[in-house]
Structure formats: C-alpha cells, structure tokens
Amino acid sequence: MSSQTETAPRRIRIFDTTLRDGEQAPGFSMTPERKLDVARAIARLNVDVMEVGFAAASPGDAEAIAIIAGEIDGPVLCSLARTVPGDIEAAEKALQGAKRKRLHTFIGTSPLHREFKLKLGTDEVLKRIEDSVRGAAGRFDEIEFSAEDAIRTERSFLIEALQCAVDAGANVLNIPDTVGYTSPEEIHELFSDLIARITAPEGTIFSTHNHDDLGMAVANSLAAVRAGAGQVECALNGIGERAGNCALEEVVMALSTRADHYGADTGIVTQELYAASDLLAKSTGNAPPRNKAIIGRNAFSHEAGIHQHGVLANRETYEIMRAEDIGMPANSLVLGKHSGKHALRARLATLGYEIGDNQLAEVFETFKTMADERREMTDNDLIALMAGGDTIWTWHLVRAELRTGTKAMNRPTAKLVLDHKTRGRLTTIGHGTGPFEALTDAFCIAAEVEGTLDAIDAHQLNREMDIEVGLTLDGDYITGRSSNTDVIVAAAEALLAAFNNYDRRARSQADASEAA
C-alpha cells in the first residue's frame, strides 16, 4: 500500500464569501430576505465559515448579518471590518446572535495602497494591525487578519505585517490576491515561504483568497493549498468584484475529484452544490454561463455523436464526475447536428418511441436535415419528426397579448387564445408579478392544472430571442423552448412547448399503465 493511501487527507476549510465579496459586486445585490435564503443553502453545504457581510458598510448589511446570525447554525459566521474601532464594534453588534463568530479585519499593505489609498507609512499600518486585532481579542471566537493586496506587497513587509497580526492574537492569516495578479507557481512559492518564516502558534491557519481577473483564481487557490494553505476563500458561481472570486464549486470538486493529487478534502456536502448555485442565480438574476465548470447547463451535456456513444456505453469515457455528485439531474444528451444514432434512439425511447434499426436509419436522415436548421432539437421537434411532420400536439397558440406598466396598480396581465385538439378554441386571462408569470398563469387556467414558473433562460442570437422555461405542473418539472424575433411570442411558444410536453408525458404514462 502506498504512503499516499496510508496518509489521511488534509482537511481544508471552506470560507464562503458569497454574501459579502460576492454580493457587493455590481448587479448581485440582494435584500436581507434573499440573503437569508441563500445563507440557508450555503449552510446546507456544510461550509466551515460564512462571511455574511460588511456590517459597517450600510444599515442593510448590518441588518442582514443580524438576521442570519439569529437563525443560521453550523458554520462560523463572519463580518468584514477595517482596522478601525467603529467597524469592529459594528461587526460585534451585528454578530451578537451567532453561536460562533469571527471578525475578519483587513488593511492594505502594498505600496500602492499605503501611498494612494491610506496615506500611511509602514509603522502606522503595523500599529493599525496591532491595535485592531488586540482590541478585538475576547470579543469574537476567532479573528482573521487580511493583508489587502498581499501579492503586490514587498515580501519583507508582508511577513512583518502577518507576524504582527498573529502576535496580537489573530488565529487566521489571509494572504489575498486582491486584484487577481498572481500565477500558480508564484503563489505556491509565496505560501511555502510565508509558512516557513512566520512564527505562529499551532493551529494558526494560513488562508488564500484569489480573484479571477486573469482567469486563474481556482488554479491559484489550489496551488496555495498544495503549498500548505489550510483555508480557501471562495464564492458560489465564482461571483465577486470585477471578474469574481475563486468558484466554490470548482475548487471543492477539484479537491474531491483529484484527491489522489492534492491529498485533501473539504467536508462539503457536494450533493447540495447545484441547488445552492441555482438559488443564488435566481436570487441575483444572474445565471452562470452554459459552459461554466461544474454547474453550467453544459457541464454534463454532450452533443457530439462520438461522445454520446461513449457516454451511453460508459459515462466515464467522457465524464470525470457524476452529475448526481453535485445534485444535478443526470447527464443529458443534447441533440443537434453533431449527434449520432445512439443518442437519437436513446432520447426517442424516453419519449415512448421504440424503433428498429431500419426505421432509425430513415428517421435519422430526416433528423439530420432538421438539426442543420436548429441549434438544438427539442422534444417537441422529435415528436413532430416521429409524426412525419404532422403535429400531434395538444395545444396550438393562436394569439398572445400582454399588458404591463410601471405603476403598482398595473399588474401584468396576459391574454391567450389557444386551440385544443378536443376542447376547441379557448380564451384565458392570467396575472402575475411579471409578464412571464402572467403568461404561465393563463396557460395553467386553460390546462386546468396547478403550476409555477421556476426558471427562465433567455439569450439573444442575432435578431432572435431563444427562451427556455422550466415549470412545475401538478408536481412534475417540465421544460419548453422556442425562438422568435418577438420576445413575447418566444416566451409564449416556450410555455406552449412545456405544456405540450406535459400532456405528451401524461399520455405516455397512461398508455404504459394501460399496457401493464
């Protein structure tokens, strides 16, 4: 047995800053209520530390910290503070309801920060560090000190500043790449040197905090871990200032998937990653890109025929992780012009079509012609394909009208005119907090089902809007997709596709039940 196998993996602490560094980025702000929802999801991940805000930044931040501190149990809760008494007092007050609380105090140490932002000399910076850390002693369970812009700080002064902090009582020393400037080789050497040269009590944690300005935040964080860092500061979906922070889901899954290389683990409940990421996206109105590592829609999807054939035979041929490991629905085969017969047959089988080789060859030829004209073949396209081009859908959209406004009393209203294959023409009116919800309500009234609009994914491609919706209808999750130059028509047709998919699924289940 190898020594690597015999050695227990090193425990890396995960410091989540989604609600502080992540939330303060432009376009990602949340109300205290939304922050609490996201905090619950982050707590379910089993993170070690949750930085919930910057108490002195605004009354709203202080309120959100206090609300979260009064409810969330599990992780250590943390507030950021400058090295000034007022900030530390604000953090202490906001965190008073927390079972375990940490102060995260910081000051710029680089020549740029000292000269242009702080206008302080090195001696004055050291005094600020000592006074703040020593003054916070006994008021928090843990004290973390960050040397802001550490990467561009002279090595000798950085060591002096960190030594000052630990001597004053800091338990955690954070060496942040505040501007995303470093490289994996550079940060590995830096952490190795700092850990060797700073005299600290046993149990002192060296922490890494990396921004993604040059696209290396995760790589730099992993390099720091290899050099001895015991804490990684990161955010869900990689959100944060400018290009964002080290992505929590990426660094966690890298350590998990390559445990053989890093010899470390995190204790994160990875099956909660997708749900937490999805909730954050909905709470901020910012969905991660399709090709985002780990939690993007394409992360476990395949369109190329060779890849699809391999995945159908054994998913490990092209997947190093399982979608289930992060709580994402199982891997999907995206049907498009690059897809092969194996994937087409597999998708048709899920729709209730069992076809032989001869019929598959005929259908595949038509499929390729249709796929050349579309970015992706939807279930509705496949149903039409199997019907020989004649639609067998339950619903047809005749007209969609929307009315909305900026005044509170102008509640969005949708009017739909639909044709049903047996009930004839129907006209319904729906309402909602937004136009898409109003359209969904109108469809639900027509279909006589209980439903909610759970997700909207919209992208503009040239002049067309491509819209995909996710709905829960009578407890079942259904998707639909459409494209149109008119965004309202695209949304209505995407909902139409979802309701037709719902009806098709219900009929397939009924047929299967009858056959049994």
Are 323 and 357 within one domain? yes
Are 229 and 311 within one domain? no
- In whole angstroms, how far apart are CA 286 and each of 237, 238, 277, 350? 10, 12, 10, 31
With a cut of 90, say whether residue 501 has pLDDT above it: no
Q: Where are the alpha helices (DSSP H) in 379-461?
A: 379-386, 435-447
| Least confident window among 58-72, 106-120, 169-183, 492-506 | 492-506
- In whole angstroms, how far apart are CA 431 and each of 123, 354, 442, 443, 491? 64, 41, 7, 11, 15
Residue 52 in domain: yes
Domain span at 453: 395-515
Give the end of a domain, one of 260, 287, 315.
260
Are 492 and 350 within one domain? no
Q: What is the pLDDT of residues 430-473, one digit of tens each?
A: 999 888 999 999 999 999 999 999 888 887 766 788 888 888 89
Residue 60 in domain: yes
Q: What is the pLDDT of residues 248-271, one digit of tens each?
A: 999 999 999 999 999 999 999 999
Residue 289 in domain: no
Question: What is d(CA 23, CA 42) in angstroms, rounded to the nearest whole number?
Answer: 14
User: How are beta strands 413-420 and 424-431 bridged, if at all?
Assistant: antiparallel
Q: Identify the pLDDT of residue 316.
A: 62
Are 113 and 222 within one domain? yes
Are 323 and 408 within one domain? no
Are 400 and 377 within one domain? no
Are 399 and 379 within one domain? no
Closest by CA to 87, choosing from 64, 107, 117, is: 107
The count of structural domains within the chain is 3
SS3 for 150?
helix
Give the end of a domain, one of 238, 260, 282.
260
Distance, first Cα to last Cα, the chain = 53
Give the end of a domain, one of 350, 365, 386.
386
Q: Identify the pLDDT of residue 3.
A: 44
Q: Cα angle vertex 296, ends 291, 302, to 5°?
A: 65
Are 41 and 127 within one domain? yes
Are 117 and 218 within one domain? yes
Residue 277 in domain: no
Are 99 and 42 within one domain? yes
CATH of the domain at 224: 3.20.20.70
Which residue matches tokens 């202080």?
62
Residue 287 in domain: no
Question: What is d(CA 376, CA 485) in angstroms, rounded to the nearest whole number?
Answer: 17
Q: What is the pLDDT of residues 412-424, one digit of tens each?
A: 999 999 999 899 9
Q: What is the pLDDT of residues 38-55, one digit of tens each?
A: 999 999 999 999 999 999
Are 67 and 183 within one domain? yes
Q: To the nearest whole percent, how much of the chain has pLDDT over 90?
A: 60
232-257: average pLDDT: 97
Average pLDDT, the chain: 87
Q: Identify the pLDDT of residue 303.
A: 42
Q: Which residue has the higher pLDDT, 371 or 169?
A: 169
Are 445 and 382 within one domain? no
Residue 238 in domain: yes
SS3 for 69?
helix
Question: What is d(CA 179, CA 271) in angstroms, rounded to the nearest whole number?
Answer: 31
Q: Identify the pLDDT of residue 319.
A: 64
Closest by CA to 420, choosing from 315, 500, 304, 487, is: 500
With a cut of 70, say whether residue 330 has pLDDT above it: no
User: How are beta strands 231-234 and 10-11 bridged, if at all?
Assistant: unpaired
- In whole angstroms, how far apart are CA 5 and each of 222, 228, 266? 20, 19, 17
CATH of the domain at 434: 3.30.160.270
Residue 157 in domain: yes
Residue 271 in domain: no
